[in-house]
C-alpha cells in the first residue's frame, strides 16, 4: 500500500480523473473531498459489505414457510409497543 | 391502498403505517418506502415490504431481541439524515425503533445484521440503515434458534 503524508488543503490524484483532497483533520477523523467522474462509484467501504448483505437478505422470503407467504393475517407492525 | 406483493399476496396498507428511507438502502437505493408488517405465523419477525418493488420484502427483528443489551451508535451523518441532534444518541423505544435485517442463506443458520441496523424515527417514520462506525457487531450475528421458526 502506498502511504503518503498530506496536510489539510492538499490533495492527491489517482489517474488523471480522480482527486482526493484532505479538507479537515480532526482528533480521530479525517474529512475528505473526492472528485471523480460520474461512472466511478464512490462509497464508504463498509457500505459495500452492507450492500452485499442486503442483496443476500432480499432472498430470504421464499425460504419461509408457505403459511407466511400466503399473507393472510398480515397486519401493520407498530414501531413501539409489541417489539420484543 | 392495496398492494399486490409477490411473497405476501394482496395486502392492504395504510399510508400512515409506511416508513420512508430518504436515501433507500445500500443495494436498493431506489426503494424508499416500506411498510413493516407482522404475521401471526412468525411472531418474532417483522416483514419490511417495499412499496416500490412488489418482489422485495426483507425479514427483520428488533435489535434488542437479538442482543438484549444492544446499544445504538449512529454516525453524525445518519443522525443528520434522520433530522436528529448530532450531540446525543437516540434511545431505542423512545426516539427511534431499531431493527436488524435477517438473512436466511441456504444451508446456514439465520443471521441478523447488527452492524447496520435500520433506525426509524418514531415521530415521523423517517428511516436510515445506519452503519455503525465501530466494529462492535458484525453484519452476520447468529440468532438464537428458538427466535425463528423456519420450515
pLDDT in tens, A12-57: 999 999 999 999 999 888 999 999 999 988 888 888 999 999 999 9
pLDDT in tens, B20-34: 999 999 999 999 999
Q: Which residue of B has its CA nearest to A65?
A: B151
**Which cell goes with B93?**
423505544
| Exposure class string for B37-68: b at 16+ Cβ within 10 A, else e | bbbebbebbbbbbbbeeeebbbbbbbbbbbee
Select the residue of A70, A76, A84 nearest B9 (Cβ to Cβ): A70
CB pairs under 8 A between A and B: 131
Chain A: nearest CA to B103, how far in angstroms? 4
Supply the pLDDT for residue B151.
Answer: 44
Q: Which residues pair with B102 in a beta bridge?
A: B59, B112
The ipTM estimated for the assembled molecules is 0.89
Determine whether the interchain pair A76/B5 forms a contact, defined as Cβ–Cβ distance below 8 Å.
Answer: no
| Exposure class string for B24-36: b at 16+ Cβ within 10 A, else e | bbbbbeebbbbbb
Kindly list the domain boundaries of chain A, sorted by start residue: 11-60
- Residue ranges of alpha helices (H) inside B1-106 are 63-66, 76-82
Determine whether the interchain pair A71/B5 forms a contact, defined as Cβ–Cβ distance below 8 Å.
Answer: yes
HSE, side-chain direction, 13 A CA sphere, residue A35: 10
Which residues neighbour B100 within 8 Å (Cβ) at sequence distance 6 or greater?
B60, B61, B62, B63, B66, B112, B113, B114, B117, B118, B141
Is residue B47 pLDDT above 80, yes or no?
A: yes
Supply the pLDDT for residue B87.
Answer: 92
Kindly list the domain boundaries of chain B, sorted by start residue: 2-143
CB A22 within 8 A of CB A6: yes
Asked: is B2-143 a CATH 1.10.287.610 domain? The reply is no
In angstroms, rounded to a whole number, what is the distance separating the alpha carbons of residues B100 and B92? Answer: 13
Determine whether the interchain pair B8/A50 forms a contact, defined as Cβ–Cβ distance below 8 Å.
Answer: no
A84 contacts in chain B (CB < 8 Å):
44, 62, 64-65
Is residue B105 pLDDT above 70, yes or no?
A: yes
Q: Which residue of B has its CA nearest to A80?
A: B93
B36 contacts in chain A (CB < 8 Å):
76-77, 79
Is residue A82 pLDDT above 70, yes or no?
A: no
Mean per-residue pLDDT of chain B: 91
Reduced DSSP (H G I as helix, E B as strand, rest coil) percent helix, strand, coil of chain A, to 5: 25, 25, 50
**Which cell goes with A25?**
483533520
Select the residue of B26, B57, B151 nearest A50 (Cβ to Cβ): B26
Q: What is the CA radius of gyration of chain A?
A: 22
Amino acid at each position: 500500500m502506498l502511504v503518503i503524508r498530506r496536510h489539510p488543503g492538499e490533495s492527491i490524484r489517482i489517474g488523471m480523473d480522480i482527486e482526493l483532497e484532505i479538507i479537515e483533520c480532526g482528533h480521530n477523523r479525517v474529512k475528505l473531498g473526492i472528485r471523480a467522474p460520474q461512472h466511478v462509484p464512490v462509497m464508504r467501504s463498509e457500505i459495500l459489505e452492507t450492500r452485499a448483505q442486503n442483496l443476500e437478505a432480499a432472498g430470504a422470503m421464499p425460504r419461509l414457510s408457505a403459511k407466511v407467504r400466503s399473507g393472510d393475517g398480515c397486519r401493520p407492525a407498530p414501531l413501539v409497543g409489541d417489539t420484543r | 391502498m392495496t398492494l399486490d406483493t409477490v411473497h405476501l399476496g394482496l395486502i392492504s396498507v395504510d399510508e400512515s403505517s409506511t416508513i420512508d428511507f430518504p436515501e433507500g438502502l445500500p443495494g436498493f437505493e431506489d426503494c424508499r418506502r416500506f411498510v413493516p408488517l407482522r404475521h401471526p405465523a412468525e411472531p418474532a419477525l417483522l416483514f419490511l415490504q417495499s412499496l416500490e418493488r412488489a418482489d422485495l420484502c426483507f425479514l427483520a427483528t428488533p435489535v434488542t431481541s437479538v442482543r438484549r443489551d444492544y446499544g445504538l451508535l449512529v454516525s453524525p451523518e445518519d443522525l443528520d439524515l434522520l433530522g436528529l441532534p448530532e450531540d446525543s444518541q437516540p434511545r431505542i423505544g423512545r426516539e427511534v425503533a431499531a431493527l436488524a435485517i435477517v438473512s436466511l442463506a441456504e444451508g446456514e443458520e439465520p443471521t441478523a445484521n447488527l452492524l447496520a441496523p435500520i433506525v426509524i424515527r418514531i415521530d415521523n417514520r423517517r428511516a436510515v440503515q445506519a452503519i455503525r462506525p465501530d466494529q462492535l457487531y458484525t453484519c452476520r450475528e447468529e440468532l438464537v434458534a428458538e427466535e425463528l421458526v423456519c420450515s
